[in-house]
Amino acid sequence: MDKQFILDKIMEYDTIIIHTHMRPDGDCYGAGFGLKEILKETFPHKNVYVIGDIAEHVKFIGDVDTIPDETYKDALVIVVDTATRDRVADQRYALGKYVIKIDHHLPIDDYGDYQYVDTTRPATSQIILEFYLDYYNILKLNMKAARALYTGIVTDTGRFKYRSVTADTFKAVAHLLEYGLDFTDVLATLDVKSENLMKMQGYVLQNFEKTQNGVAYIKIKPEIINKFGVSLEEATSLVNELSTLADCPVWILFAEYDNQIVRARLRSKGPFIDKLANKYDGGGHPMACGANLGTWEKADELLSDADLLVKEYKEQLQSDKS
């Protein structure tokens, strides 16, 4: 992998289109808009766009663009934080003259003309920030970029709580604080919840269930979404409300999406769950994954497999102690 190659490609093209993934999270938005602002600040003559879905909870970072098909004709496309091509929001990304993938997820789909994947980084936003730091004598930062990149890193690391965080993460973020970023303002913005979402939060805490061996889970169906008047995106953001249960090292939030398609968000503080997600047309990180289930029957199958995984994990822990 060569960051210099990416910089050379950026300098070569006058139009750069950055694509995010479907249902973007904070890191996806942070990486996309962080890169856009760096490039706009450095190369004001270039046309730089971010294309994808709207993420309401981090919309303060920036607004996605709308462009016609012909814009792709002689454009460099950079897809951020997206492990597989089918998850790219707006499949027109493939119309670009040259496509670069920048990601931190396990590399299960080498789409595009060039891939830069660093699984040692807890967020793609950190990769973008370090890209800027590697070439700070050429690239320029602005406050919009700083806010976006910090948001991406802080959300994808659970506010620096996850094992994927390294000393390099703090070193990179330190540069944003030295630049003058008001990180408390970003955190305060992320903390804001609507009254409806707070009530939904209470519903999750009062109605979650547990499997026999310790998988905490909640099933979010359309009638629940309608009852509380929240978006599906807001509802699924509550997955980590189940993270503090002492006897549940794995927790899952199931939700029904468009066309009655069921998906799952899986999280762990014990056993690796990425292979489990792979079994159900999903993937991600060892401790944080998504899965595409299709039906509620498949959701129950995933629960059974997750319960067995936790059982084996707890038995191994007990064996190690004896």
Domain ranges of the chain: 3-190, 195-321
What CA–CA distance (Å, rounded) separates 9 from 35?
Answer: 14
The residue-averaged pLDDT of 194-216 equals 95
Q: What is the mean pLDDT of residues 197-221?
A: 96
CATH code for the domain defined by 3-190: 3.90.1640.10
Rounded average pLDDT over 152-159 = 92
Mean pLDDT of 172-179: 97
Q: Do 3-190 and 195-321 come out as alike in CATH topology? A: no
- Average pLDDT estimate for 288-303: 92
At residue 321, does pLDDT exceed 90?
no
pLDDT 10s digits, 108-136? 889 999 999 999 999 999 999 999 999 99
Quick one: pLDDT at residue 7?
97
On the question of pLDDT at 59 being above 80, the answer is: yes
Could you give the CA distance from residue 227 to residue 34 in angstroms, rounded to a whole number? 36
Segment 190-216 mean pLDDT = 94
User: pLDDT value at position 164?
Assistant: 87
Number of C-alpha atoms within 13 angstroms, CB side, residue 36? Answer: 26
* Average pLDDT of the residues in 251-268: 90
Mean pLDDT for all residues in the chain: 94
**208, 211, 216, 217: CA torsion to nearest 10:** -60
> Over 90: is that where the pLDDT of 51 sits?
yes
Distance CA 85, CA 91 (A): 8
Q: Provide the pLDDT for residue 149.
A: 98
How far is 280 from 298, CA to CA, in rounded Å? 8
Among residues of the chain, what percentage have pLDDT more than 70?
Answer: 100
Over residues 29-35, the mean pLDDT reads 98
Q: What is the spatial distance between Cα 166 and Cα 216, in angstroms, rounded to a whole number? A: 28
pLDDT tens for 141-154 read 999 999 999 999 99
Region 286-312 average pLDDT: 93
CATH dotted code for 195-321: 3.10.310.30
Q: Is residue 65 predicted with pLDDT exceeding 80?
A: yes
Residue type at 189 in one-letter notation: T
Q: Average pLDDT, stretch 30-37?
A: 98
Region for residue 23 given its phi and psi (left: phi exceeds 0; alpha: psi -120 to 50; beta: otherwise): left
pLDDT at 311 exceeding the cut of 80: yes
Identify which of 190, 120, 116 has the alpha carbon closest to the alpha carbon of residue 150: 190
User: Quick one: average pLDDT of 293-309?
Assistant: 95
Cβ atoms of 77 and 19 within 8 Å: the answer is yes
Q: What's the whole-number mean pLDDT along residues 151-176?
A: 93
Question: Which range is most confident: 89-93, 162-166, 259-263?
Answer: 89-93
In our burial notation (b when 16+ CB lie closer than 10 A, e otherwise), range 96-132 reads beebbbbbbbbeebebbebbbbeeebbbbbbbbbbbb
pLDDT at 260 over 80: no
